[in-house]
Amino acid sequence: MKKYFPIIGSIIVVTVASYFVVTTKGKEKAKTKTVKIAPENIGKFSRQRSCARPPRFLRKSNIPQPVLIDLSQQRFKGLAMHYGKNYEKSLHPDLWGKYEHFSTYTVDEYGNLYLVPMPFISINENTFDLQKNIYKLNSETGDLEIFMHLEDVRASSNNPYGLNSIAYDCDDKTLWVSAVDESDYKNQKGVIYHIDPVNKSILDTIEGFDVLSMAIIKSEKGKYLLLGSARDNGLYSYKMNSNILDQKPKKLFSLPSANQHIRKIKIKGNNQLELQAIPFTYSLISQTEKKHRVFYNAIWIDTLRKWKLNSA
Amino acid sequence: MTKEIRISIAILILGAISLGIYWFIPVGGSQAIATEKNIKERIFLAQYEAEVYQNIPEVKSYLKDLNIIIQSGKSILPLSNSELDKNGIKVQHLLLTDTGFIEDGKQGDKLLHNDMMRILPSIVSTLDSSTAQICKTTTCYTAEKYNFVTNATTRATVDVDNNKVLKVQRFPNMQPDISLRLKRMAQAIALNAPEVKKELGKTPAKKDMSMANVRSALKESPCEQSAHLCVAPTFADHEKEQVLWAIIDLTELKLSAAKWAGLGKTTTPACISERTLQNKFIMENYCRQDSYLDRNGWKMTYRLTGSDGLEIRDVSFNGEPVLTSAKTVDWHVSYQQKGADQLDTSGETYIAGRRVEYIVGEDNKYQFGYNDAMGCPMFSTSVVLPFNGPLIKPLKGQSGFALTQDFRNPKWPMACNYRYENRFEFYDDGSFRILAINKGRGCGINAIYRPIMRIDMAVSDEQVFSSYDNQWSVWEKENSSTAMPKNIQYPFKVTEKNTNKGYYIEPNHGQFSDQSRGDHATIYATKFNPEEGDQDLLTLGSCCDLKDDGVYRYLENKENINGENIVLWYVPRVKNDATEGSEYCWADTVLGDDGNLEVKEWPCSVGPKFVPIGLEGQ
């Protein structure tokens, strides 16, 4: 019997050690409830040559390039263009102020500008209706008109925003447009519309994400729709497979402050984005405070597989 | 070695390897996901002002030292020697007399409160190339001070060996790491905050608190409302896996706001800031749900609206219905100027980002201005935002209470920024007063403010509105009046159709002991229509057409109101005044004797009182 003592002893040692290891790990697990999620990786990217061309009416009117497009609403209502030395000369026909204020724009290969609206300080009787439209500045004539009217977009006093961001896809010549009108304090019900501008038809809708800004980017891993969230301080991406979006947007990173929401996304260079952020709360005050606009450079460090954020 | 011993060794080795693998492999596989316990955030806002904290020894001694420094003609409160090494003491001595370092310590002949925050050996990342070159061969120290008035940090690099200031840099709107003294004071305020004690259910001890994240809190959690210097000490409750974040305002020396949250990643200081907390607190407690009040015989529901300010609904006194709804739906802000002939109205004009409207009048004068809506901070059309939630306060010198809500532009009292108060006073005798209060500062002088009050009485389903001019006359149709002579205390009344039960309306001529200069109001009586303001009203009418308060549109059909459900619209007209000594509807920021900014305000209060019929003789 004695000869088995070493075996029995070793079994007891392993059993006791196992007990301590299992209970200690259990305690550690209880203490550490959060495990970091690996950041989504879109891989390396570079600045692509845009298909956008300047509006043709500018040449016909002998207005020299470059032209600055002004949607700031500080001096002019709606759309204005500035040109000449130090951009001192301004172009602002009455018609360009007819549809109140604009949030952002995109340009196609023919020089047509597509614009989306924005409510601004004083609400007039038709302000909410104007949030349903995509507007087009005709490249040939310079006329500003309602291009598409999306009837199911319903801005209201409980959320004055309707259509709010837009991007043009040079590959298939389609528009991506977002709306946040259905969202409320608890529910994120934003809609992304994929639009064929030739037939003025909606090709697809993706629901459930509040977009504040968007940009199309091509990386080594494919084509993505980048989204600045209206809801939080994150930059998200949808993988575009034959222009059909993934099921859910994936978060790339968050800005340092919870109050900063990405309002503009610009592909600045190789692996570098320039982001403009504002404190957005679905009310009218957000657009008025210039000092609250913060700029960041977001740089993808491929060797470390992570994003680096710098104040721009 | 026997066979049994070899087996024993094998068991031990295999056991050790198995336990090692078990220890290092994460549970749940390699794609671990966040398992943070879902703890609901709970926010509370400060209920007490700075006076509560002024007797805390750390605060008292700090204020005393600050007072001594300012009185001695200096602007920088230095670090105590206990916070400095030998070189640090030398550097501080040098910098306190260096003109470049201290030059932002004065505004005119007034001293501005500055604190030296830290003096440490220089680190390479804070040096430019030329300074770095010098500091390779000499001992360099970096000092930082913070200007509490301008919200700016000054950083100096000093060559200690040669007793020379190498570089001074200023960083506007930036805040440094705080001194040990300020850290201790922030801890003391957090430990003594009545709100923190209440939330924790006990008087907390210093050991319960963590300030390890001071740097992050400083960099990413400024008190945004006023660009104050703030830090966020925390109290962790490991059992419940939650933590209490307390934002301490070191400019005003008080608790600013706080929240309970989980211990996980989402509770980094970046996620708490005063504005975020206020927005969430106000949305969840006053915008998304009604609140109820039952006091001194008064019962009512109240809530914050999207753009119509604080609304009270279903108000009763001793069980008798009084009001269905009352609120101030808009402030029309209009400025009068001369030079209408010089006016260029060919394009839009903007002031501080607001599009202004022009109305040309007589005598070469014109009006310009805009409409301000007050309401919920999120998902609304308001441009003047609520600060804290509605408060219930006792009345001074009278029996009763007030329900009040403060609305401000974030940069008030700077020019073109506004502060309004919606206030309802309820008296123990059954009378009540609806007030709109303007605290400036606006874009300039010659401003005319018009708050638009909507008052839906609940005296009866069949109401009668009458005006008095030697005798009572019943209004048959929708109409308006400005006839409110001072010698008639009650020029209007609302009564039940077949009885004289109801309320007299007493316009404000300045008789309510609140420094008011009177309402100069127009009263409108219209038939109730749910689309005319029972829900949130958007901006109503022109800001600047003084002939139209915006309510006329509801009078166009001249509907019969005798025996109908009547809605009253009361629109006072107030002129501001910035003349020294007679300021009215005005605010200003001045430098106080302690080197810190003080806001002076001269509010103008307007609004009628409603007195139950039968009480008028009392």
Q: Tens of pLDDT along B206-251?
A: 777 776 444 333 333 445 555 677 777 778 776 676 778 788 888 8
pLDDT above 60: residue B125 = yes
Q: How many domains does chain A have?
A: 1
Domain boundary among B116, B151, B172: B172
HSE value, Cβ hemisphere, 13 Å, CA-based, for B595:
27
Note which residues in 44-103 of chain A have CB less than 8 A from chain B: 73-77, 92, 97
Identify the pLDDT of residue B35.
33
CATH number at residue B153: 3.10.450
In-domain check, residue B112: yes
Q: What does B506-566 look like in DSSP terms, one character per residue? A: E--SSTTSS-------EEEEEE--TTTTTS-----S-SS-TT--S-GGGTTT--B-TTB-E
Is the domain of B399 the same as that of B472? Answer: yes
Please tell me the distance from the alpha carbon of residue B431 to that of residue B426, in angstroms, as a whole number.
Answer: 6
Q: pLDDT below 70 — which residues of chain A?
A: 1, 25-40, 243, 285-292, 312
Any CB–CB contact under 8 A between A16 and chain B?
no
Rounded to whole angstroms, the Cα distance separating A223 from A242 reads 9
| Strand positions, DSSP E, B173-289 | 209-210, 230-231, 234-237, 242-249, 254-262
**Is A211 part of any domain?**
yes
Query: Does any domain span residue A71?
Result: yes
Taking residues B553-579, what's their average pLDDT? 93
Asked if residue A240 is part of any domain, the answer here is yes
pLDDT at B87: 94
Confidence at residue B260, expressed as pLDDT on a 0 to 100 scale: 78
Q: Mark whether B430 and B512 lie in a shared domain.
A: yes
Tell me what pLDDT residue B262 has.
Answer: 64
Token reading at A97? 């102020």
Q: Among B143, B172, B201, give the residue marking a domain's end.
A: B172
Query: What is the structure's pLDDT at B41?
Result: 63
Burial of B216 (0-12, 13-18, 19+ CB in 10 A): middle
Q: Which residue of A has its CA nearest to B218?
A: A257
B22/A25 CB distance under 8 A: yes
Question: What integer pLDDT is reported at residue B270 of this predicted model?
Answer: 39
Residue A219, both tokens = 């990386």
A138-178 confidence digits (pLDDT tens):
999 999 999 999 999 999 888 999 999 999 999 999 999 99
Per-residue confidence (pLDDT) for residue B337, from 0 to 100: 65
Which residues, at least 6 apart from B103, have a Cβ–Cβ distance to it below 8 Å?
none
CA B522/CA B536 separation, integer angstroms: 22
Picking from B271, B279, B353, the nearest residue to A288 by CB comes out as: B353
Give how far A20 is from chain B: nearest CA, Å.
10
The mean pLDDT of B465-471, rounded to a whole number, is 94
Question: Is it the case that residue B514 has pLDDT exceeding 70?
Answer: yes
Residue A169 resides in a domain: yes
pLDDT band at B355 (very low <50, low <70, confident <90, very high): low
CB within 8 Å: A33 and B263: yes
Residue B589: which pLDDT band, with cuts at 50, 70 and 90? confident
- Strand ranges, E, within chain A: 68-70, 80-83, 89-91, 101-107, 113-118, 133-137, 144-149, 163-169, 174-179, 191-196, 201-207, 211-219, 222-229, 234-241, 244-245, 250-254, 261-269, 272-278, 294-301, 306-311
Task: Identify all chain B residues contacting A34, using CB atoms and an 8 Å cutoff.
Answer: 34-36, 263-265
CA nearest B563: which of B493, B471, B474, B469? Answer: B474
- For residue A19, what is the nearest residue in chain B, using CA coordinates? B19
- Considering B137, B155, B172, which residue would you say is the last residue of a domain? B172
Confidence of residue B17 (pLDDT cuts 50, 70, 90): confident
pLDDT exceeding 90 applies to what percent of chain B?
A: 45
Identify which of A33, A158, A256 has the shortest CB distance to residue B36. Answer: A33
Instruction: Please count the structural domains in chain B.
Output: 3
B204 domain-assigned: no
Give me the pLDDT at residue B428, please: 96
Q: What is the enclosing helix (H) or strand (E) of A209?
A: none
The residue with greater pLDDT, A53 or B277, is A53
Cβ contact B379–A284 (<8 Å): no
* B30 assigned to some structural domain: yes
With residues binned 3-state (H G I as helix, E B as strand, rest as coil), the percentages for chain A, rounded to 5, are 15, 40, 45
Q: Which of A4, A10, A31 to mutate to test the interface with B (most CBs of B within 10 A)?
A: A10
Does the pLDDT value for residue B462 go beyond 90? Answer: yes
Q: Is residue B210 part of a domain?
A: no
Distance between B18 CA and the closest CA of chain A, angstroms: 9
Cβ-Cβ contacts under 8 Å between A and B: the total is 165
B118 neighbors B156 (Cβ within 8 angstroms):
no
Residue B462: both structure tokens together: 């069949």
Do residues B410 and A289 touch, judged by C-beta distance below 8 A?
Answer: yes
Q: Is A42 domain-assigned?
A: no
Which one has a higher pLDDT value, B276 or A17? A17
Are residues B429 and B515 both part of a single domain?
Answer: yes
What pTM was computed for the model? 0.71
Does A304 touch chain B if contact means CB atoms closer than 8 Å?
no
Quote the DSSP letter at residue B28.
T
pLDDT given at position B569:
97
Q: Is residue B617 part of a domain?
A: no
pLDDT higher than threshold 50 for residue B38 = no
Q: Note down the domain range covering A143.
A: 56-259
Q: What angle do CA B179, B184, B186 make, to 5 degrees?
A: 95
- Name residues whose C-beta falls within 8 Å of residue B133's C-beta, 6 or more positions apart in sequence: none
Same domain, B399 and B467: yes
pLDDT band at B319 (very low <50, low <70, confident <90, very high): very high
| Domain assignment of residue B269, yes or no | no
**What number is the average pLDDT over the span B366-387?**
81
Question: Could you give the ipTM of this predicted complex?
Answer: 0.75
Contact B190, B211 (CB under 8 A): no
Amino acid B581 reads G
Per-position DSSP letters for B268-326, written without gaps between them: SGGG--HHHHHHHHHIIIIISS-EEEEETTEEEEEEE-SSB-EEEEEEEETTEEEEEEE
Q: What is the pLDDT of residue B302?
A: 97
Q: Which domain holds residue B29?
A: 3-36
Mean pLDDT rounded to a whole number for chain B: 83
DSSP assignment, residue A156?
Answer: B
Question: Which among A13, A74, A157 has CB closest to B353?
Answer: A74
Q: Is residue B423 part of a domain?
A: yes
Three-state secondary-structure class, residue B374: strand
What pLDDT does B510 receive? 95
Q: How many residues does chain A have?
A: 312
- Contact between chains at B379 and A36 (C-beta distance less than 8 A): no
For residue B101, which of B134, B73, B142 has the smallest C-alpha distance? B142
The conformation of residue A173, written as its DSSP 8-state character, comes to T
Neighbouring C-beta atoms of residue A79, cutoff 10 Å:
25
3-state SS, residue A198? coil
How far apart are alpha carbons B410 and B382 in whole angstroms?
13
- Segment B53-69 mean pLDDT: 91
Evaluate whether residue A215 is within a structural domain: yes
In this structure, are strands B254-262 and B234-237 parallel, antiparallel, or unpaired? Answer: unpaired
Of A21, A29, A185, the CB nearest to B378: A185
Residue A150 lies in a domain: yes
- At B466, the pLDDT band (50, 70, 90 cuts) reads very high
A35, A73, A289: which to substitute to probe chain B, counting the most B Cβ within 10 Å?
A: A35
**CATH number of the domain residue A144 falls in:** 2.130.10.10
Q: Which residues contact B552 (CB under 8 A, 6 or more apart)?
A: B480, B541
- The pLDDT value given to residue B616: 60
Pick the closest to residue B104 from B140, B162, B151 (CA basis).
B151
Beta strands per DSSP E along B148-237: 152-159, 164-172, 209-210, 230-231, 234-237
- Residue B144 pLDDT grade (very low, low, confident, very high; cuts 50, 70, 90): very high
Identify the sign of the CA torsion B274, B277, B281, B287. positive
Dihedral of the CA atoms A176, A180, A186, A189 (nearest 10)?
-50
φ, ψ dihedrals at B362, nearest 5°: -90, 170
Does residue A143 belong to any structural domain of this protein?
A: yes
Q: Quick check: is B444 in a domain?
A: yes
Nearest to B36 among A34, A127, A288 (CB): A34
Distance of CA B238 to CAs A27, B207, B313, B516, Å? 13, 14, 43, 54
Across the interface, which of A76, A160, A290 has its CB nearest the CB of B348? A76
N-term to C-term CA, chain A: 78
Q: How many CB atoms lie within 10 A of CB B539?
A: 25
CA–CA distance, B98 with A55 (Å, rounded to integer) = 58
Return the CATH number at B363.
Answer: 2.70.98
Cβ–Cβ under 8 Å, residues B187 and B208: no
Position A39 scores a pLDDT of 54
Same domain as B402, residue B517 = yes
The band of B341, judged by pLDDT with boundaries at 50, 70 and 90, is low
Mean pLDDT of B106-118: 90
Q: CA–CA separation, B614 vs A18, rounded Å?
A: 86
- Could you tell me if B20 and B117 lie in one domain? no
A35 touches chain B (CB under 8 A): yes
Residues 162-201 of A with CB under 8 A from B: 184-186
Spatial CB neighbours of A287, under 8 Å, sequence gap ≥ 6: A73, A118, A120, A278, B353
Q: Dihedral sign for Cα A182, A186, B220, B112, please.
A: positive
Interface of A with B in 99-158 (CB under 8 A): 119-125, 127, 157-158
**More confident call, B539 vs B288:** B288
Partner B contacted by A37 (CB < 8 A): yes
Nearest CB to B11; choose among A11, A185, A287: A11
Note whether B401 and B530 are same-domain residues: yes
> Does the distance separating the beta carbons of B35 and A35 come in below 8 Å?
yes
Give the span between the Cα atoms of B606 and B422, in whole angstroms: 10
**pLDDT at residue B149, as a whole number:** 87
Query: What CA–CA distance (Å, rounded) separates B273 from B280?
Result: 11
Query: Are residues B523 and B450 part of one domain?
Result: yes
- Predicted pLDDT of residue B40: 58
Tokens of B279: 């927005």
Q: What is the pLDDT of residue B351?
A: 53
Residue of B nearest to A288 (CA): B353
